[in-house]
Amino acid sequence: MDEEKLDLKNPFAGFNASLMNDDDIIRYWIKPHILFSRQALGVDLTGDIPVVLEGGRGTGKTMLLKFMSNEVTVKEYVAKHQTGHRFLEKTPYLAVYHRFDGPSLGSFVSRHTSEEAWETIFKHYLELVIGQKFTMMLSNLKRNRCFDLDPSRENELIIGVLKLVDPDCSYQVTDCSIEFATAFLQQRLDRVFDFINDSAISEGTKFSQHIVNSGRLIFGVPELALKVLPELCGKKIIILLDEYENLRLNQQKIVNTLVKHTKLPVTFRIGTRLRGFKTYDTLNEGEFLMEDADYRKIRFEDVLTAKKDSFRDLLRMIARRRLEQIREFGRKQIVDIEEILGELSYEDEALMIVFGRKMSRREVDEYPEEKYRTEAKHIQEIMDILKTKYHSDAEKTLSLLIDKQKPLFEMLNLLLLRRDYKPDQVERLFKAYVGKNKESPYYSKYRNLYDKNKVDLLFQLISLNKPRQKQYAGFSTFCMLSSGIIRNFLELCYQSFNIALFSDRESLIEGRQMPIQAQTEGAKIRAERYMDVIERIPEYGNEVKSLVRSLGAIFYSWQNDPVLSEPEVTYFCVDSTSLSDKARKILDSAAQWSVLQPKKPMKGKSATDPLFDVYALNHILAPYFGISYRLRGRIREFGRADLEALMFGTEEEKSKAIIRLSRHPFPGRTKTILDFVGKG
Amino acid sequence: MVRISGFCDSAQKLCSHFDSVDMFIAGISYEERYIRGYSLLCENGLQAREKILFYFNEVLATYNRTGDEARFDAAFAISSADKKLYVDLYDEINGLFMFRRYLKENSDKFLNKNIIIDFSVMVKPYFFLLMKHLSSINTKKLGFLYTEPDTYTSLTRGAMATRDIPGYSGKRALTKKDALAILLGFEGNRAVAVYNEINPDVTIPINGFPSYKPEFKDISIMKNKELLMDEEIFKNLRFAPANDPFQTRDALLELYLDISGEYNLSIAPLGTKPMALGGCFFAMEQPDCRVIYPYPQEYLPKSSKGWRNSWIYVTELTESNSSGNA
C-alpha cells in the first residue's frame, strides 16, 4: 500500500459549520436553491424584510449565514477575480455575522444587579459588538481594495464612529486607520467584561461607562458609512445573528425591538433552532413581532424536504463537493454518492434475510424448493395456519401462496392469514397482483396492502429470522434517515466511510459500491452517537432521553404486531395545551435539538377533538431501536398522564404507561418491550 | 494583577511548611476522603485555631438521615469558634457571598494568617470563587490540601447548562479567533458539551500525566474518544501532571504565550481538582482568559472511593502590574 493511499482522508470529516473557517465554508458550500428561490413566497434571503431561519441542529443554518458574511463573500470574490476591485458593483448586500455564545450571555445576570440594569448593559454590549463587526467589515473591504479609502474619508469614518459611541467627546484623530475604531470599541467592550467579572463576586459594583443607546451603532454606523462611502449606496446591510435561541428572554426582547424597528438599508437574518423564540414581545408594551408583517420565516426541514427530489439533489451535490476534494476520488471521478452507496430495495433485503446472504435471482431460482419450504420460517407459519385452521390440502394451497423470489409477498399473504382471511381470498388477491390483472379490484387492493405494509413486513420477516437484522443502507435510506438535516446525512456518510476506508479501501477507491454492512454499521454508530447527544441536552437531557427510549419501545411494539394494525408507527399526537409547563418545556427542548420533529398538527379522530400536535421521532434514531424511518401509521393520542410518566415518572409509572401505549397482542410480549426500554 | 507562586509537597510534611494553622476551610461530603486532609493536619500537630466548613445542603439531604450533621461535626471536631456555612452545592455564588460576608466581618481572622483549604471534595466552581475572594486579602500563607481518591465512581448526572464560572468570563476580543483548552477528565460527554457551546477555532486537550494511577491517563483518553477522534484536536494533545497545579498553570501559560496574539483562550477545567486549581491560578493571572464549566444536573454524592496520596500546595499571592504576557 503506498503512502498516498495510507493518507486517504474521509471526505465527510468536519460537518459542523460553526467549526469551519472561511476557506472550508467556500470549499464545501453548495447553494441550496430551494432556499434561495423562495421569493415567490415572499421570503427573500437578500431582500429588505428580516428573515428568521428556523431549523434543527445541523440543518445548515450556520453554513448559510456564514456564507453570506462579508468575510466569505469577499474572499470568494477575490479568489475568483484576484482582486476585490469590482466586488461592490456585483454584490447586492454586505453582511456581518455574529453568533450568540450561550455561556457568555448567561453572564449578563447577577444577584446584586437588577434585571433592568442588565438589560441596559446588554443593549450597550450588543451595540458595541455589532458596531465592531461593521468596522471590521470596513477594514476587510479596504484590505481587499473593494474601495479606495483616502485618509480624510477614513478619519471622517473614525470620528463618526467615536461620536456615535460618545457624542459629548471631542476626539482629535489624525492619520489613523479604521482599525483604530475597532480597537476603540474593543476597549469599551473590555469595560463591559470587567463589570461582568466584578459584579459576579462583589456587591455594589456599578457600571459607570457611558451607555450607547439601542440602535445608535447598529443603524448609525451603516448610515455613516453610506454617507462617507458613496460606493456603498444601494447595498443592503444585513446583520446575520446566529443561535438566537441562546438569548435570555429579556435579551430576545431587545433583538426583537431592533428587528421590528429596523431602519433600511439595515435588515436582519436570524438563525434559530426550532422553538428558539422565548418571546415575540419587544421592549414596548403591547408590541410584538408579527410574522409576515415584521419578518418572514423559513423552516429548514420543511423547505428542504418539501420536494423529495430537491433534497436528494442537494445532498448529492454536497457529497460531490466533498468527494471532489479528495484526490483519489476526484481524479477517478468517484464523486456520485448515490452510486457509491447504491440502493437496497426492500425485496432484495427480504431475500438477504431469508437466505442469509445477498442472492441473485438465478441463485434463488436454483434454490431447491423443498429445502426452501422447510427452512423459511414464514413459510412454516403459513403451513401451520393452513394445517391447523383449514385442514385442506395444505401443501397444494401453500404452493399457490408462495413465490420464493418475493418473500415480502409471502409475508403479506401470511399477514392476511393472520388477519383471518381465508386461503382462497388470499390466493385471489395474490394471483391478481402477480398476474398483473390491473382491471381486477383484487389487484389494487393487494397493491395497496403491499405498499402500505412492505417495510413493516420486512421487520416481521426479520423478527422470524433472528438474529438477522434490518439493514440501513443505500442512498435513499440515508436520505430518509437524515430527516431533513444535512448534518445527519454527512455524519451517516462519515461513519460509513470510516468503516469502509478501513475494511474495503481498495474496492472503494476503485469505484465499487460500498458494502451494505459498512453502511448499516455506520448508521448504527451515528444513531448511538445521537443518543449520547440527547444526554447532553441542557436542563432536560434526562427527561428527553427517558421519553425517547420509551418511544422506541412503544414504536417497536407496534412494528412487531403480527397483524400490523398500524404500519410503521414513528410519531405520536398530543394535545399540548393539556400538558404541564414542565412537559411542554421538555417537548420544546426535544424539538430544539431535533430529537423530536414537530409536524403539521392533526385533527383528532373524533369530530369534537381538538387539533393535536404531532411529534415524529428523528429517523436518525431508527437504527438504534431497529424501527422504520418513514412516517405512516397513527396510534391513539397520548394523554397527559402517560406522556408525563414517560418523561419524568417513576420506573413503575413509566412501565405502566409504556404497556398502555404499546401493542401487546400476545401475552408474554410485555417483558420483551420493557427489557428493550433498558437498552442503553 | 495577581501573580501566584508556590510549590507542592506531600501532605505528610505539612509541619515543615506550616508552623501553625489559623484557619482551616473545607467542605463535607459522602466521599471517604473528605476527612483525610483534616486528619493529616491533626497528625502533624497542626490543630487549626478556627475552621470554616461548607455544609452542603444537598449532601445533608442526600440520605435524609438525622444525625448526619452530628457525624460531620464530630469528624471535624467542630467547636463554638468554628463557622458552619449552610450552602447549596449548585449555587456557588450565594455560597461564596456567605463566605465573603463572614470574611468582611472577620477580616482579622484572615489578615496575615496561615490558611489551609482542603478542596478535595469541593465542586470546582466553589474553589474558583473561593480563590477569587481570598485573593482580595493579604494572607500570610495560603495552602491548598488535596487527597487523591483511590477510585472514581460516577461523578455527575445530566447537563444543566454550560456557563462561564462567575468572575471568570475573561475579555473576548472579536478580532481574534477562539481557542479552547480542555483539561480532560473522565466525562467525555461534558467535554463535548463545552466544545459544542464554544465552537472554537482550535481545541487543545490537556491530559493529566503523570496520573494518580497509571491507568487513569488512558481512561481519560478513552472516555474522551469522541472529542479526540478529530485528528485536528488529537494532534494538539498536551500533558500536565494530574496532581500539580503549578505545572498545569505553567502548561496553560506556555499555551497562552503561544497563541494569545491570535486567539481568545477559554479553559474548561474538567480534569482532576489539582489541574483545575492550576487552571484557576492561570485564570487569575491572565484575567483576559475565560473559564467555562458544564454544570451538571446532579453531582453524585459518592463520586469516589477510598484515598491515596495527599498533597499540600503552598502558595504566595503577589500583586503585579504586568500581565505576564511576553
Please name the member of A16, A193, A539 whose beta carbon is closest to the beta carbon of B170: A193
* A279 and A391 share one domain: no
Confirm or reject contact between B200 and chain A (CB < 8 A).
yes
Enumerate the residues of chain B whose CB falls inside 8 A of the CB of residue A189: 171-172, 174
Residue B117: C-alpha distances to residues A378, B36, B130, B147, B315 (Å): 71, 13, 9, 12, 11
Enumerate the residues of chain A whose CB falls inside 8 A of the CB of residue B190: 536
* A361 and A382 share one domain: yes
CA angle (B3, B318, A207) in 5-degree steps: 80
Q: Which are the contacts of A450, defined by CB distance < 8 A and separation ≥ 6?
A: A408, A409, A412, A433
Contact criterion met (CB below 8 Å) for B164 and A103: yes
pLDDT band at A680 (very low <50, low <70, confident <90, very high): very low
pLDDT mean values, one per 10 residues, chain B (326 residues) = 88 88 91 90 89 88 74 90 90 87 86 91 91 85 92 79 93 94 90 90 92 82 88 91 93 96 96 95 95 88 85 86 44
- The conformational region for residue A95 under phi > 0 = left, psi -120 to 50 = alpha, else beta, is beta
Q: Which residue of A has its CA nearest to B130?
A: A201
Contact criterion met (CB below 8 Å) for B159 and B294: yes
> CA gyration radius for chain A?
30
Interface test with B, best of A15, A110, A201, A594 (most B CBs within 10 A): A201
Confirm or reject contact between B198 and chain A (CB < 8 A).
yes
Q: A475-482 and A308-325 are packed helices; what angle lies between their axes, rounded to 10 degrees?
A: 110
Confirm or reject contact between B210 and chain A (CB < 8 A).
no
Domain-embedded: residue A68: yes
**What is the DSSP code string of A250-317?**
HHHHHHHHHHHT--TTEEEEEEE-TT--S--B-SSTT-B--BTTTBEEEEHHHHHHHSHHHHHHHHHH
Domain-embedded: residue A635: yes
Please name the member of A16, A136, A201 whose beta carbon is closest to the beta carbon of B174: A136
CATH T-level assignment (fold) for domain B156-299: Rossmann fold (3.40.50)
pLDDT at position A643, please?
94
Confirm or reject contact between B233 and chain A (CB < 8 A).
no
Rounded to an integer, what distance in angstroms lies between the CA atom of residue A104 and that of residue A247?
A: 10
Domain-embedded: residue A205: yes
Contact criterion met (CB below 8 Å) for A298 and A41: no
* A272 and A319 share one domain: no
pLDDT by residue (tens digit) across A527-575? 999 998 898 888 899 999 999 999 999 999 988 888 888 888 899 999 9
Question: How far apart, in Å, do the first and last CA atoms of chain A sit?
Answer: 39
Confirm or reject contact between B226 and chain A (CB < 8 A).
yes
* A188 and A105 share one domain: yes
Q: HSE of B146 in the Cβ direction (CA atoms, 13 Å)?
A: 25
CB pair distance less than 8 Å for B174 and A129? yes
Please name the member of A111, A186, A532 whose beta carbon is closest to the beta carbon of B189: A532
Enumerate the residues of chain B whose CB falls inside 8 A of the CB of residue A197: 167-170, 287
- The conformational region for residue A237 under phi > 0 = left, psi -120 to 50 = alpha, else beta, is beta
CB pair distance less than 8 Å for A529 and B94? no
Rounded to an integer, what distance in angstroms lies between the CA atom of residue A661 and that of residue A669?
A: 13
Domain-embedded: residue A198: yes
Enumerate the residues of chain B whose CB falls inside 8 A of the CB of residue A541: 158-159, 297
Confirm or reject contact between B192 and chain A (CB < 8 A).
yes
Confirm or reject contact between B3 and chain A (CB < 8 A).
no
- Quote the percentage of chain A above a pLDDT of 90: 53
Contact criterion met (CB below 8 Å) for A584 and A484: no
Domain-embedded: residue A475: no
Coil, strand or helix: which one is B150? coil
Q: HSE of A378 in the Cβ direction (CA atoms, 13 Å)?
A: 33
Strands (E), A8-68: 51-54
CB pair distance less than 8 Å for A106 and B163? yes
Q: Is the peptide bond between A265 and the residue preceding it cis, with omega within 30 degrees of 0?
A: yes
Confirm or reject contact between B17 and chain A (CB < 8 A).
no
Contact criterion met (CB below 8 Å) for A416 and A446: no
Element (H, E) at A399: helix A394-401
Give A542 to chain B, closest Cα distance, Å: 6
Contact criterion met (CB below 8 Å) for B179 and B263: yes
Q: Which of A585, A583, A593, A581 is nearest to A537 (CA)?
A: A593
Q: Which residues of A fall below an 8 Å CB-CB distance to B?
A: 13, 16, 18-19, 21, 99, 101-104, 106-107, 110-111, 129, 132-133, 136, 182, 186, 189-190, 193-194, 196-198, 200-201, 203, 529, 532, 535-539, 541-542
Instruction: Report the mean per-residue pLDDT for chain A.
Output: 88
Confirm or reject contact between B96 and chain A (CB < 8 A).
yes
pLDDT at position A560, please?
84
CA angle (B168, B174, B175) in 5-degree steps: 125
Please name the member of B129, B161, B173 whose beta carbon is closest to the beta carbon of A106: B161
pLDDT by residue (tens digit) across A20-45? 777 887 777 777 776 666 654 556 77
Distance from chain centroid for Cα B118:
10
Rounded to an integer, what distance in angstroms lies between the CA atom of residue A13 and that of residue A28?
A: 11
- Is B2-151+309-316 a CATH 1.10.3470 domain? no
Q: Which of A573, A568, A531 is nearest to A549 (CA)?
A: A531
Give residue for cell 446588554.
A122
Domain-embedded: residue A469: no
Contact criterion met (CB below 8 Å) for B185 and B269: no
Q: Which residue of A has its CA nearest to B168?
A: A197
CB pair distance less than 8 Å for A197 and B97? no
Contact criterion met (CB below 8 Å) for A200 and B166: yes
Domain-embedded: residue A231: yes
pLDDT by residue (tens digit) across A10-22? 888 876 666 677 7
Interface predicted TM-score of the whole assembly (ipTM), two decimals: 0.91
Enumerate the residues of chain B whose CB falls inside 8 A of the CB of residue A535: 158-159, 189
CB pair distance less than 8 Å for B162 and A189? no
Read off the pLDDT of each residue in A60-79 and give the average, rounded to a whole number. 92
pLDDT at position B178, please?
94
* A460 and A593 share one domain: no
CB pair distance less than 8 Å for B174 and A541? no
Enumerate the residues of chain A whose CB falls inside 8 A of the CB of residue B175: 132, 136, 182, 186
* A185 and A332 share one domain: no
Query: What is the residue extent of each domain of chain B?
Result: 2-151+309-316, 156-299
Tally of structural domains, chain A: 4
Confirm or reject contact between B202 and chain A (CB < 8 A).
no
Give B142 to chain A, closest Cα distance, Å: 20
Coil, strand or helix: which one is A228? helix
DSSP letter at A296 equals E
CB pair distance less than 8 Å for B169 and A107? yes
Count of helix runs (H) and strand runs (E) in chain A: 34, 8
- Write out the three cell numbers for A610: 381538538
pLDDT band at A407 (very low <50, low <70, confident <90, very high): very high
Please name the member of B133, B175, B198 whose beta carbon is closest to the beta carbon of A201: B133
CB pair distance less than 8 Å for A106 and B159? no
* A149 and A270 share one domain: yes
Sign of CA dihedral A592, A595, A601, A604: negative
- Write out the three cell numbers for B283: 485564570
CB pair distance less than 8 Å for A103 and B292? yes
Please name the member of A21, A129, A542 whose beta carbon is closest to the beta carbon of B201: A21
pLDDT higher than 60, residue A354: yes
CA angle (A59, A60, A61) in 5-degree steps: 105
CB pair distance less than 8 Å for B172 and A182? no
pLDDT by residue (tens digit) across A203-258? 777 888 888 888 999 999 999 999 999 989 889 999 999 999 999 999 999 999 99
Give residue for cell 442512498.
A475
Distance from chain centroid for Cα A644:
25
Enumerate the residues of chain A whose CB falls inside 8 A of the CB of residue B100: 201
CB pair distance less than 8 Å for A103 and B164? yes
Q: Which residue of A has its CA nearest to B192?
A: A536
pLDDT by residue (tens digit) across B311-320? 999 998 887 6
Give A24 to chain B, closest Cα distance, Å: 12
Please give the residue range of the domain that contains residue A322.
Answer: 309-341
Domain-embedded: residue A473: no
Confirm or reject contact between B133 and chain A (CB < 8 A).
yes
Please name the member of A13, A132, A532 whose beta carbon is closest to the beta carbon of B174: A132
Enumerate the residues of chain A whose CB falls inside 8 A of the CB of residue B296: none
Give A150 to chain B, closest Cα distance, Å: 23
Enumerate the residues of chain A whose CB falls inside 8 A of the CB of residue B172: 104, 189, 193
Enumerate the residues of chain A whose CB falls inside 8 A of the CB of residue B96: 201
Rounded to an integer, what distance in angstroms lies between the CA atom of residue A279 and that of residue A665?
A: 46
Coil, strand or helix: which one is A633? coil
CB pair distance less than 8 Å for A193 and B172? yes
Q: Which residue of A has its CA nearest to B131?
A: A201
Size of interface A-B (CB pairs under 8 A): 101
pLDDT by residue (tens digit) across A269-282? 999 999 999 999 99
Helical ranges in A475-540 per DSSP H: 475-482, 486-503, 505-509, 516-535
